[in-house]
Structure 1
């Protein structure tokens, strides 16, 4: 079957920025295939974000389908202070003094205004400066000062980013900026909140205390420390992102694909949505077509079973944002037609942990056996997400009375959502609503699954085959 005739299951996230600002441009991205818009709170102010959110909702109305908005918080970004003269030329034989300070008036002294970072460094630890362009090794301690040598010559500049991949840093999971940005995003009706530099599951617990239980949290895995607590982080998160940009700085290149596969597998086994992000079609920031290696990178994420793949600079500041989305859409469709290989993603789940999980799996198997669509009636989205986690070979159509739920389901693999404004009082009401919505599709048979009592979030327990005469 032609890939153009197949409904795409893996979702596409596009980051908004100057290249994609305005409702008209966002409508173009929707037509090209965007399911979720990402707003990067590392850049811009609240006025800009408010305008982008309003434009995205306008594009959603024009598209005639729910779209999710994802607010990506900056996180605790560690940076150097101000160097004497603005730069230091580090030679192989240089000894540099790391001091706890916002600035320095002495040569060969590197100020770092983060006491928790400097104090945690021990003999042999590595310090990465400016996205890994310069690596310093701690050779000894002198009180609160650390003496370092560069692994290779290079130039240090004021305010560049700094990371310590060999040691978990005891820094707060949320900065004051993150808290203000997160609360603003929630007030604006954002659908997902992504937390940067998550190191442990307790970071998510803190975020829930600050932001409440209602907003779904995405844990961005971009620190080696997070890999040490991966299963617990996945368990506590609502979704997971493989943030390969910063992860690639702190891990050696050959370790990044191994980490990606492990994160995707852990998320899939737990039934949590997982996003693969960063540098997917990087060359399209300038070029009108991607490299073949980039196409293969997108394909790998699809084969591994990711719920979504994400564009960053390609759609935010690139020269061809709509083309990047369209090409990503084409790659995904082509790979999803390779059923023999993509079906392997269905076997990554752990055994059913509850009646609801078992019913979702049974409904999925029944739809595959009968070669007919699945229709899930869901209030919170949990039932549709459970069915999606089984990776059925048939379309998943979710009906919900909740617009926020329909929007959140835009991120979930294989799910298309519609609004059913009538709240059902019984399973018969659910069947009536499903039959009414499916009438225009021409489908004669479909599998319906839902929960009863309907207002319980963990009640997926009913399956029925509906055959229209």
Structure 2
């Protein structure tokens, strides 16, 4: 049985060499995240060059994911340095002009818009939630009194969030626009948008891409409660979703996070859109060659929930054991996927498959593959849509997605179980292209049964929906 889960590795100082990235590919990573919150054009250009070189050398489709920073809100420095707070300590939060030397503990924020709409009782989190406060009094338009609900150190220039509130700051910042220009020039395959709050945010990013004459797939990062409130609308506009559990975990009560993750994944599975689970999956492996039991279970449960991809961040960007982290994540996937297929947990009910004949045919192909114990499903998918629907059916078989479009191949690489491949475009007949691929590919041996799906255009038409499902057996060369 081929293995299905896709592993995303974030590149950084710990994996900036050709040898390091090659080791990640050999360990099982096929998608590489470039975090534009850190690093500059020179670093990203070097990483893209290495990835494209390895694509040529290995024959794998390796996808480059650009992750835009979004409006990361940080406190400023009024000269107080780091100060300690205990549970119950009162602290003022305000703009720089509100600070006075006798103010006592003061957190400075030079973005006055963020203070608008904050009301008594609202939570405030500092430093990725390490220190949490509650608003006890609105002292002025740009001055708020907080009380600490736990103890810790409050240094300047740390991230600050206002969980549950809708910010007026646009998710697409000037920095993001400049970074997008770099990404488009370097030829990234997918773009992830941070702090999405509504469907229009995705539309705005897509409009920004128009000037580069590229329509790169967009992954919406779900990390605000506002995004959860209009998830259906965001799913209609976005090409895929990332469950960004770091910031989402600050917005929600932590006990609510697992159910939010499950609901997001289920919604993506239903629409056949790839979904990534991210943040602290194997965090202990930044400094240790071994993961914890809780982390191992977390990765397994993300796969059980229906994730297409699981993502490593610090583990591969700055960690001491990047290759080992990918290998261990892959090993967890081996075990949990074997269990899922053995128990039938991978099967997805075909709700709503009568919406379109091509969708029904994709579900039928997946069921047929299971009934005849096919070696694989080979899908000629011009747009990649059928490959994604097949993936959402969660068959035990790998899905070889044939497309002559490089962007389509690199995006279908994010869907669970999909192996992108390039067909011979000298053959017009899409079904024949798929059969020739089976005959020529070393992945299939004599006697293998393959389910072939294709959309064969009628004369005078360039494309069509999937309209063919066929059982195909690879015969001896002289019989073909």
Instruction: Report the TM-score range of the alignment, normalised by the length of the smaller protein.
Output: over 0.9
Pair 162,277 (structure 1): closer, same or farther in 2 beyond 3 Å: same
The residue number in structure 2 matching 1:21 is 16
TM-score (norm 1): 0.92
Query: CA deviation digits over 1:46-85, x for unaligned, max 9?
Result: 1111111111112222222111111111111011122342
Check whether the contact 1:346–1:390 (CA below 8 A) recurs between aligned residues: yes
Question: Over the residues paired in the alignment, what is the CA RMSD in angstroms?
Answer: 2.3
Q: Deviations over 1:226-284 (max 9, x none)?
A: 21122222222111111112222332322221211111111112211111111111111
Q: Deviations over 1:333-365 (max 9, x none)?
A: 111111357733432664123222111111111
- Spell out the pairing of 1:40-439 with structure 2 (5 A cutoff): 40-90=35-85, 94-101=89-96, 104-106=99-101, 107-108=103-104, 109-144=106-141, 145-212=143-210, 214-339=215-340, 343-347=344-348, 350-352=351-353, 353-372=355-374, 373-427=376-430, 429-438=432-441
1:448 pairs with 433, 436, 452, which one?
452
Q: Compared with structure 1, are the counterparts of its residues 124 and 332 closer, same or farther at alpha carbon in structure 2 (3 Å cutoff)?
A: same
Evaluate the alpha carbon distance shift between residue 101 and residue 378 of structure 1 in structure 2; reply closer, same or farther with a 3 A threshold. same
Q: Determine the C-alpha separation between the residues in 1 that align with 2:204 and 2:343.
A: 37
Cα separation, 1, equivalents of 2:463 and 2:81 = 56
Q: Which ranges of 4 or more aligned residues in structure 1 deviate by more than 6 Å?
A: 454-458
Equivalent-residue separation in structure 2 for 1:221 and 1:345 (angstroms) = 24
Contact 1:302 1:332 in 2 (8 A): yes
Q: Deviations over 1:378-406 (max 9, x none)?
A: 22222211211111122211222233332
Query: What's the counterpart of residue 466 of structure 1?
Result: 472
Which whole-Å CA distance do the structure 2 matches of 1:423 and 1:239 have between them? 32
Q: 1:1-53, CA deviations, whole angstroms, 9 ceiling, x for partnerless residues?
A: xxxxx311011111111111111111111111111111111101111111111
Seen in structure 2, the aligned counterparts of structure 1 residues 23 and 132 have a Cα distance that, compared at 3 Å, is same
CA distance in 2, matches of 1:187, 1:445: 43
Secondary structure of 1:132's aligned partner: coil
Q: What are structure 2's unaligned runs of at least 5 residues?
A: 476-480
Number of equivalences? 464
Question: Aligned to 1:218, what secondary structure does the other structure show?
Answer: strand
Structure 1: stretches of 5+ with no match in the other structure: 1-5
- Tell me what 1:3 maps to: none
